[in-house]
């Protein structure tokens, strides 16, 4: 994303960022792992969520430095097959909810 921001046209008035879908897809293997409890299953997501949050913070800081109004779309749907297609929306909601809890 840093390279893209460097190529931002000087006449740009707004910035729209779409980020996170590939990051989520990179961790879809977590949905196939076994766990002996719900707590253990949730802990599988802890490190990837922390890394993703750190990346988002850096991206948003870079956008803030540009000084233009902007919008950030952080997750989008990928082309997945069942049963993963049904599980991903739940996992993404969980990610969002966990991120809120971690910030509070």
Strands 15-18 vs 70-73: parallel, antiparallel or unpaired: parallel
Q: How confident is residue 97, by pLDDT bands cut at 50, 70 and 90?
A: low
What's the confidence (pLDDT) of residue 99?
57
pTM: 0.64
What are the pLDDT digits (tens) for 12-70? 999 888 776 677 677 778 878 899 998 898 888 888 878 887 887 888 888 888 889 98
pLDDT of residue 85: 76
H helix or E strand, kind and range, residue 18:
strand 15-18
């Amino acid at each position: 994303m840093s390279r893209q921001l460097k190529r931002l046209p000087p006449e740009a008035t707004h910035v729209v960022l779409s980020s996170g879908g590939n990051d989520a897809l990179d961790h879809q293997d977590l949905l196939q792992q076994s766990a002996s409890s719900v707590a253990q299953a949730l802990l599988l997501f802890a490190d990837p969520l922390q890394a993703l949050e750190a990346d988002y913070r850096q991206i948003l800081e870079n956008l803030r430095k540009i000084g233009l109004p902007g919008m950030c779309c952080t997750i989008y749907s990928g082309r997945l097959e069942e049963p993963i297609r049904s599980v991903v929306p739940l996992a993404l909601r969980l990610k969002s909810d966990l991120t809120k809890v971690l910030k509070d």
